[in-house]
A and B are shown apart, each in its own frame.
Chain A
Amino acid sequence: GQNIDQPTEMTATEGAIVQINCTYQTSGFNGLFWYQQHAGEAPTFLSYNVLDGLEEKGRFSSFLSRSKGYSYLLLKELQMKDSASYLCAVALFSGGYNKLIFGAGTRLAVHP
């Protein structure tokens, strides 16, 4: 089976840094995605890692270690609008296409 684990909830202070971890055990791996989802809205793409290492994109960075089945999303200079759910998803390639398998999501609350 496929298993993707991430913390259920996190809280942080405006202006601070927060790291959201994701561990996965999947049959196959073709990249790891992070999505942001505000309540009642569509998931929106944040980052994509297919090789080991750190990808930086503005205030957001994502890290991947394929040997450890581990990724994290780092959010810097937190803003109130960053309060949302963050979804970790693994792409599995099978049957000629890629399918995203999601974790349960981490609800982040940013407070003043």
Chain B
Amino acid sequence: GAGVSQSPRYKVAKRGQDVALRCDPISGHVSLFWYQQALGQGPEFLTYFQNEAQLDKSGLPSDRFFAERPEGSVSTLKIQRTQQEDSAVYLCASSLGPGPTDYGYTFGSGTRLTVV
């Protein structure tokens, strides 16, 4: 596609519910990143995929967070047993190679998760 697509755009979950957030990166992009952005803050790194391999998951806040990219294209971020502190915008970004080109990463518009 022309850009990075994320769905759903908004998600309201009851505390304790499991959620799945989807990211469709730009076709052919090797690198895929997930970031978490709290209100009024900058994006915080969660995890990184190079094709289907998850090379870095150091930013995942707990074992309730899980991400996958089984075929090296679409990625899903899953949050189990959601808590109120999980409320944030989850951003996905992709890049052609293993690092930002001169044009950085291309971000999706994000999924705004609200846990009630």
**Quick one: given A87-B43, A105-B42, are A100 and B105 in contact (CB under 8 Å)?**
yes
> Could you say which of A39-47, A62-70, A74-82 contacts chain B?
A39-47
Interface residues on A, range: 20 to 34
The tally of CB-CB contacts under 8 A between chains A and B is: 74
For the complex, is B100 an interface residue (Cβ under 8 Å from A)?
Answer: yes
A9 closest partner in B (C-beta): B40
For the complex, is B56 an interface residue (Cβ under 8 Å from A)?
Answer: yes
> Could you say which of B61-69, B75-83, B106-114 contacts chain A?
B106-114
Main secondary structure of the interface of A (DSSP, over half): strand
For the complex, is B102 an interface residue (Cβ under 8 Å from A)?
Answer: yes
A103: contacting residue among B42, B105, B109, CB under 8 A: B42
Is there an interface contact between B108 and A104, defined as CB atoms closer than 8 Å? Answer: no
**Please, how many angstroms separate the alpha-carbon atoms of A72 and B100 in the complex?**
20
**Please, how many angstroms separate the alpha-carbon atoms of A107 and B93 in the complex?**
22
